[in-house]
């Protein structure tokens, strides 16, 4: 079966070189486009970056609906291995559901990641529909999407306007599983979250901070942004703080 075409602008990316690497993981129904600007910013400052495209993303929602959590996890692992080859230290920067995948990877691979930055990180949802996900996926293939939760009118995210129900059930399973392993996360951690995030409620940021075992951890609220803080009004601060976090914890001058 022919693979669907990738939407222009949603392609995966790799920028820069050097001994320090940063893996940039996008969110559910989004694409690498949401992380590209941050990746360019870090690469300009001497950090090698890789932004993989999670299976089923940046194509069609119907394509996403055929994918599983194991495929998404495998992509994070492969992205890490690509970046780690020949490099001394790796950081991860993850947006939304990408944070759940990244926390899961770190929990199961202790010592491999020097630090993690979560951006509107998702580890839980209080959407009442979560309880009926196994039934909903049998009744309909998709429901209304949640893309472009951005306060800046000039901000635009390449993301689906429909939420595929089978893969959403897979996504919810990851959230259930990652909450169990959060105490196994023990790397340096910076959590940034939009105070007015409508998609991933702000309590997620507090949950991450409270549940991980990291001693070096900080929570920063983005007061002027909604969900996609890499494309929103606080993006300059998000970029700057992400770079400072990596620079301050790197053994190399970056």
Note whether residue 6 is domain-resident.
no
- The helix, strand and coil proportions of the chain, stated in percent and rounded to the nearest 5, come to 40, 15, 45
Domain membership of residue 21 as a residue range: 13-249
Note whether residue 1 is domain-resident.
no
156 is catalytic: no
Query: Residue 254: its pLDDT value, please?
Result: 67
Q: CATH number for the domain including 51? A: 3.40.50.1820
Note whether residue 169 is domain-resident.
yes
Query: Residue 143: its pLDDT value, please?
Result: 78
Q: Of the residues 96, 102, 167, 188, which is catalytic?
A: 96
213 is catalytic: no
Q: What is the domain count for the chain? A: 1
Note whether residue 190 is domain-resident.
yes
Q: Of the residues 26, 57, 193, 227, which is catalytic?
A: 227
Note whether residue 7 is domain-resident.
no
Note whether residue 2 is domain-resident.
no
Instruction: Confirm if 200 and 121 have CB atoms less than 8 A apart.
Output: yes
Query: Residue 148: its pLDDT value, please?
Result: 82
Note whether residue 88 is domain-resident.
yes
Full-model pTM = 0.94
Token pair listed for 29: 């129904």
Note whether residue 4 is domain-resident.
no
Alpha helices in the chain (DSSP H): 33-44, 61-64, 69-84, 97-108, 133-139, 165-181, 203-211, 235-249
Burial class from Cβ neighbours inside 10 Å (0-12, 13-18, 19+) for residue 179 reads middle
131 is catalytic: no
**Mean pLDDT of each 10-residue bin along the chain, 254 residues long:** 88 95 97 98 97 97 96 98 94 98 98 98 79 57 80 95 92 96 98 96 98 98 97 98 97 76
Q: Of the residues 63, 104, 197, 232, which is catalytic?
A: 197
């Amino acid at each position: 079966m022919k693979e669907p075409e990738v939407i222009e602008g949603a392609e995966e990316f790799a920028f820069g070189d050097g001994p320090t690497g940063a893996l940039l993981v996008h969110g559910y129904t989004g694409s690498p486009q949401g992380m590209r600007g941050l990746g360019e910013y870090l690469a300009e400052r001497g950090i090698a970056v890789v932004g993989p495209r999670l299976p089923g993303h940046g194509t069609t929602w119907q394509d996403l609906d055929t994918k599983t959590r194991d495929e998404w996890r495998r992509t994070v692992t492969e992205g890490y291995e690509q970046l780690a080859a020949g490099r001394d230290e790796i950081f991860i920067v993850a947006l939304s559901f990408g944070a759940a995948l990244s926390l899961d990877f770190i929990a199961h691979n202790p010592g491999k990641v020097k630090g993690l930055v979560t951006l509107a990180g998702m580890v839980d949802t209080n959407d009442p529909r979560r309880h009926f996900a196994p039934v909903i996926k049998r009744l309909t293939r998709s429901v209304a999407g949640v893309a472009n939760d951005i306060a800046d009118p000039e901000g635009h995210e390449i993301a689906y306007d429909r939420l595929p129900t089978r893969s959403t059930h897979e996504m919810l399973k990851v959230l259930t599983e990652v909450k169990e392993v959060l105490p196994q996360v023990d790397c340096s951690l910076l959590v940034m979250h939009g105070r007015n995030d409508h998609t991933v409620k702000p309590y997620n940021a507090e949950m991450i901070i409270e549940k991980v075992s990291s001693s070096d951890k900080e929570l920063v609220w983005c007061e002027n942004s909604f969900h996609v803080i890499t494309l929103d009004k606080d993006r300059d601060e998000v970029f700057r703080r992400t770079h400072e976090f990596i620079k301050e914890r790197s053994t190399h001058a970056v």
